């Protein structure tokens, strides 16, 4: 899978979650948007930096070549230089992945000015690779007019006309709508857009995104693609998906889990965490209902959000806003024996709370939020102190971690060493490790022979785990991550199911 994003940012790493939702990190440390997370969850393959391409990367690469003199004094232009670089990135992703088929998404909307070089590059690719090796799919929206109670195809016809003007004739149209699309409308699209009837695929909104592949399979999408690309089509094995969808349909028990963050009105900011919790729930034949816990309301003393939940997750994040509310959430979980899962920042929050309320270090804090604190139980990595650039300068990507036997984490993973993805600058301060462990907050996993703490657990609590990494990035719909699986199990043990 590959995503071509027309924006000028090098990557979404410095963007607000309001812009592109969560930042999804790959094994190699590439910061991407949440679409790459969807790709990995659906195909169960770990992607690489070649799967995420932005206009910013393309222009940056071309300008570096120009500065080196690679173009021998030529005038640098959108065509052919930018388009050639786009084509090279597409072909490199295919080559590096050794995939038989590369599915490449162009972000944005047909007609966007920033997307034109990408569309031109795709047009040229059909010429370069041969028409039998390129299959173009246009995903289009059919708006519903309430006044006349009908879906309209005019926007689809207009976007197809624009594509054809640019030299691209789609081989397939995926028609998106919030309502069922009748056969007459599909035939109308086929006629006006000059496309075979079976290649116009209805994609109505379903009650679960995980039903979409089964819907496409029933409509013969893969047969249409294989016919054009002359691929030998084997029988699809969708047993795992059918089982998953069956569970989604049949689950009639519900459990509430609190997600304590500061973007509680923006689900996209915690997309992978939400999906990891859901898949862990389906594993246990229970629906996980997310209770969005507003950290700033906790700071104001409103603890009502925590009263009816069976567990608390504190996800990753940056910045000072809402931090004290998250500390309150961690304290509530510890004092009330409520299962707690701290992810990245959530692990740091648990450490700060423990230092303040158990070790009685009243002003314990992270140097991220209180640079002048005398008790930095969380501090910046020494090699990071001099770095002032924001983009791509954190500890990013997959790092190994050795687990301590006899811990909750070891019980979950059932192995001595794991590899998980990181995205952070600040670390557990080892100066406080001995005091923490004596009081009950033990180190359950570390990196570099104990120099870097990766996992903490409260041994005096039924299930209280904080990890410095982002396990949610490796959770899959049919294979829930071990930590989320065991967290939901712990929630079930002490909960009243609805």
Kind and range of the H or E run holding 454 = strand 452-458
DSSP code per residue over 64-131? HHHHHTTTTTPPP-IIIIIHHHHHHHHHHHHHHHT-S---EEEPS-TT-GGGHHHHHHHHHHHHHH-G
Separation CA 497–CA 493 (nearest Å)? 10
Q: Is 138 known to be catalytic?
A: no
| Residue of 342, 297, 345, 343 lying closest to 320 (CA atoms) | 345
How many CB atoms are closer than 10 A to CB 13? 20
Q: In what order do the strands lie in the sheet with 200-204?
A: 137-141, 172-177, 200-204
Q: Is 470 known to be catalytic?
A: yes
Identified catalytic residue from 40, 120, 138, 344: 344
Separation CA 473–CA 39 (nearest Å)? 11
| Residue of 370, 479, 360, 380 lying closest to 46 (CA atoms) | 479
Q: Are 354 and 458 in contact (CB under 8 A)?
A: yes
Sign for the pseudo-dihedral over CA of 352, 354, 356, 359: negative
Identified catalytic residue from 40, 353, 420, 472: 472
Q: Is 344 known to be catalytic?
A: yes
DSSP 193: T
User: Distances in Å between the alpha carbon of 101 and those of 3, 22, 91, 187, 234?
Assistant: 14, 27, 11, 29, 14
Q: Are strands 441-447 and 312-314 parallel, antiparallel or unpaired?
A: unpaired
Burial 259-292 (b: 16+ CB within 10 A, else e): bbbbbbebeebbbbbbbbbbbbbbbbebbbebbe
Separation CA 295–CA 125 (nearest Å)? 49
Enumerate the active-site residues. 344, 470, 472
């Amino acid at each position: 899978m590959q995503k071509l994003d027309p924006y000028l940012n090098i990557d979404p790493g410095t963007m607000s979650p309001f812009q592109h939702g969560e930042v999804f990190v790959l094994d190699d440390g590439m910061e991407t948007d949440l679409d790459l997370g969807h790709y990995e969850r659906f195909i169960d393959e770990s992607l690489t930096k070649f799967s995420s391409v932005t206009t910013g990367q393309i222009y940056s690469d071309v300008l570096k070549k120009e500065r080196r003199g690679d173009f021998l004094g030529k005038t640098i232009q959108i065509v052919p230089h930018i388009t050639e670089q786009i084509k090279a990135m597409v072909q490199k992703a295919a080559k590096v992945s050794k995939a038989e088929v590369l599915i490449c998404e162009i972000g944005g909307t047909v007609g966007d000015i920033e997307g034109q070089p990408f569309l031109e590059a795709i047009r040229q690719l059909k010429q370069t690779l041969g028409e039998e090796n390129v299959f173009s799919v246009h995903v289009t929206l059919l708006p519903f007019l309430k006044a006349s109670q009908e879906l309209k195809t005019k926007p689809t016809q207009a976007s197809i006309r624009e594509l054809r003007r640019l030299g691209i004739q789609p081989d397939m149209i995926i028609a998106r709508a919030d309502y069922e699309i009748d056969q007459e409308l599909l035939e109308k699209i086929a006629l006006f857009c000059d496309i075979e009837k079976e290649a116009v695929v209805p994609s109505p909104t379903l009650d679960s995104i995980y039903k979409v592949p089964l819907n496409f399979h029933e409509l013969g999408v893969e047969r249409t693609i294989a016919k054009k690309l002359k691929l030998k089509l084997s029988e699809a094995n969708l047993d795992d998906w059918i089982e998953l969808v069956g569970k989604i349909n049949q689950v009639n028990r519900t459990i509430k889990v609190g997600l304590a963050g500061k973007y509680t009105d923006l689900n996209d900011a915690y997309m992978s965490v939400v999906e990891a919790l859901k898949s862990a729930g389906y594993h246990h034949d229970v629906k996980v209902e997310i209770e969005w816990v507003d950290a700033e309301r906790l700071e104001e003393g409103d603890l009502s959000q925590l009263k009816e939940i069976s567990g608390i997750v504190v996800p990753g994040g940056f910045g000072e806003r809402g931090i004290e509310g998250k500390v309150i959430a961690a304290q509530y979980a510890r004092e009330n024996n409520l299962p707690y899962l701290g992810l990245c920042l959530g692990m740091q929050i648990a450490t700060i709370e423990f230092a303040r309320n158990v070790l009685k270090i009243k002003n314990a804090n992270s140097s991220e939020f209180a640079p002048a604190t005398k008790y930095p139980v969380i501090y910046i990595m020494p090699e990071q102190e001099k770095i002032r650039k924001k983009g791509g300068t954190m500890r990013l990507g997959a790092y190994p971690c050795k687990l301590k036997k006899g811990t909750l984490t070891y019980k979950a993973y059932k192995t001595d060493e794991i590899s998980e993805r990181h995205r952070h600058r600040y670390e557990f301060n080892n100066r406080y490790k001995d005091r923490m462990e004596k009081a009950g907050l033990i180190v359950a996993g570390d990196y570099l022979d104990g120099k870097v703490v990766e996992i903490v657990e409260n041994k005096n609590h039924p299930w209280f785990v904080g990890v410095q990494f982002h396990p949610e990035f490796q959770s899959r719909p049919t294979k829930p991550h071990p930590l989320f699986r065991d967290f939901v199990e712990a929630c079930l043990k002490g909960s009243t199911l609805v």
